[in-house]
Structure 1
């Protein structure tokens, strides 16, 4: 079945917004096609759910993501430099080096430094992931930081760099693989584990316990 045929069937369904997922598949006549595609053609299975107006989180929970389908930048592929976009005295750029996979086919980690104007670059951490996300005013950035422990294995914490206070605050909460998408006010939004058992992240840093705070002068 072609993509056009899938959308033709999906668009013929009346009142689709009020239906459950199974009802959408059944009424559209795409149930059998979806069951076959889910086993052998993830792209077609995803297309069917998109045509039937499943939301992104539901699609990912049902099918899972492949790395190739992730929006750029992501934990597997992000730029070596990440600027706060300012052109004044507050201009800052995160610079990654020695980026490598934490395991075969796994997300990247590397050394991350921050450079402000013509000042020397300052080390943030030796095990930073990405991509980092800046606030709109460019004065704070949230960075996934890799850690490892005997009991928890490899995991990430959120670190927030505050340019005004010249601090890195690392929070206690642990994540599997972060895909941060927005940082506004006190709230950081994103996804944890974008290719397996995805969970949405709504991280209010004002109400999260802190692991430690270090100066980055």
Structure 2
């Protein structure tokens, strides 16, 4: 505190420290590495945290950070906890993009018991080339119809209500396929009203976030 601050009883404003993704808030910004290991949708990009959602499962809950950059397209960032923590970047696909990337007959097997489907990527075209670094040649299924709730609310410092009338979450079933080295995934969420989200996910080290910029 400066001498003048002490004299008039005022404290200098404290700058908020931000060094890890779990502490991000709406309005914060991040800058990603410019490495060619990242796809063009992420490489060297600066993103603002637009929203923080929560996935609630039986034994866990996971935050989802909705990021927006200059393109205006949303990138979804989660945190994958294993022996260490990884960033999980995801982008959503439209149905036409799913059709262009995967054989739909093989894709349908993901929803059949016992949930052991194998999925191969179709040859890339000019239209699908932008997804090249998001994709693996082949995936194997690791999750089948895992039940959960999606909340458009940040529950990092609390838990959703256990009473259904106070719980605004959207119920869904999750399906996941991983590639051989578990660095890429296809994630599918099927909601009770029939809406289905298909996402390509890329797992990356925390160091891919090069800079953090606290918001207001």
TM-score relative to the length of structure 1: 0.24
Which structure shows the bigger proportion of residues in helix conformation? 1
For CA contacts below 8 A with separation 6 or more, give which structure has more relative contact order. Answer: 2
